[in-house]
Amino acid sequence: MAKGQSELVRQLNGMRGATVQGSVTMVMNAVIARVPVDQYPGVQSLPGVKRVYFSRPQRMLLDTSAVIEKAQGLWSKAGGRAEAGRGIKIGIIDSGINITNPMFIDDPLTPLMHFPKGETHFANNKVIVARNCIHLLARGKCCFFKYLNFP
């Protein structure tokens, strides 16, 4: 932990509803914690805290993305929507996806042999490999990896 982080973590752990999730030192000196919004002023006033960043979960509705991206024109060039993307696998490294989003529904995909892999509770027949790297935060690295299957 960087200078001052140990004391800040101790104080955060003593706050009602606060949960320290990790810390970073490579890009910035920061502690990552979940804190109830009514506790933000208390966190802001802790010694050594320069700024509190509010981050709320995003619930994007991507069920219209194909229309926005004009995918229908591409599907016809690929042999129709049923054939578009057949055999294509895409790797995504990001901060996480909501596997319950309609964009990631795996019905009626057939499971691939030897899949899913990784942390399978984050996977299905479409999201075929998942790995949560939150434990890497302490070393200044973080990613959430998902590997997608398209029929």
Residues 114, 64 contacting (CB under 8 angstroms): no
Mean pLDDT of 58-86: 73
Reported as a single tens digit per residue, the pLDDT across 12-25 is: 999 999 989 888 87
Contacting residues for 46 by C-beta, under 8 A, at least 6 apart: 8, 11, 12
Reported as a single tens digit per residue, the pLDDT across 110-150 is: 878 888 888 888 888 888 888 776 666 555 544 444 444 44
For the whole model, what pTM was predicted? 0.41
Sheet-wide strand order for 117-118: 89-94, 144-149, 127-132, 117-118
Domain locations in the chain as residue ranges: 5-44, 83-149
